[in-house]
Amino acid sequence: EAGVAQSPRYKIIEKRQSVAFWCNPISGHATLYWYQQILGQGPKLLIQFQNNGVVDDSQLPKDRFSAERLKGVDSTLKIQPAKLEDSAVYLCASSLAQVDGYTFGSGTRLTVV
Amino acid sequence: AQTVTQSQPEMSVQEAETVTLSCTYDTSESDYYLFWYKQPPSRQMILVIRQEAYKQQNATENRFSVNFQKAAKSFSLKISDSQLGDAAMYFCAYRRGNDMRFGAGTRLTVKP
């Protein structure tokens, strides 16, 4: 079984620029999550999709962050404009059922300078 | 809101010895799931072990076992016969429905 794919692996941008991250979950996993992990902290949920619908985006800074999951498969997370405090690892995860743990991708490390 | 607390930012263990990582959580629910994840420098979060709250029996996966104390809301991870490859960040997580919360993590160092 292929894992959760994420790209790019690293990204360095200047503040006020825009950036996009891509995620391809495990085939058949209806639920997809984007997490932000700041250095030294645990992952924090940004947004959760069930198929192509948003289930929870209460912690997504909607003035600068946006995400979509077209056709209920791949997902894209965008930041525009980026701030220094957005520097973090952005993890994508998917799950099959509520009893399961999540399967995570390797994440994208974003550095905003 | 559910919170997960890992009170040990760093732990160290000698190779082949046993180490226990602590985790407490706060919830008013009775039906939920608890997890321990390992995050090596590669950054990928790897599921180590899972515990269903309705089960009294502690989960075990090879060298990894948990001590689940539901009344105390405690969920510690025991690693036996520690190996160099066990060195990583370990995160405790609480899940109810589609809501999973993580602790701040414990960095485990394994000394040869």
Query: Is the pLDDT score of A6 beyond 70?
Result: yes
What mean pLDDT do residues B9-23 have?
Answer: 97
Query: Is the pLDDT score of B44 beyond 60?
Result: yes
- What pLDDT, in 10s, does the model give residues A48-103? 998 889 999 999 999 999 999 988 899 999 999 999 999 999 999 998 876 677 89
Residue B79's pLDDT band, with cuts at 50, 70 and 90, is very high
Calculate how close chain B gets to A9, using CA atoms only, in Å: 10
Per-residue confidence (pLDDT) for residue A99, from 0 to 100 = 63
Provide the mean pLDDT of chain B.
94
Per-residue confidence (pLDDT) for residue B98, from 0 to 100 = 74
Calculate how close chain A gets to B17, using CA atoms only, in Å: 26
User: Cβ contacts (< 8 Å) between B47 and chain A: which residues?
Assistant: 101-103
- What pLDDT, in 10s, does the model give residues A36-63? 999 988 999 999 998 889 999 999 999 9
What mean pLDDT do residues A18-34 have?
Answer: 94
| CB contact (8 A) between residue A42 and residue B45 | no
Between B9 and A97, residue with greater pLDDT: B9
CA distance B83 to B35: 21
- For B52, name the nearest residue in chain A, comparing CA atoms only: A99
Per-residue confidence (pLDDT) for residue B97, from 0 to 100 = 79
User: Cβ contacts (< 8 Å) between A107 and chain B: which residues?
Assistant: 43-44
Chain centroid, CA A108 distance in Å = 9
CA distance A50 to A74: 12
The full 3-state SS of chain B, as one line of letters, equals CCEEECCCCEEEEECCCCEEECCEEECCCCCCEEEEEEECCCCCCEEEEEEECCCCCCCEECCEEEEEECCCCEEEEEECCCCHHHCEEEEEEEEECCEEEECCCEEEEEEC
| CB contact (8 A) between residue A99 and residue B91 | no
Query: Is the pLDDT score of A1 beyond 90?
Result: no
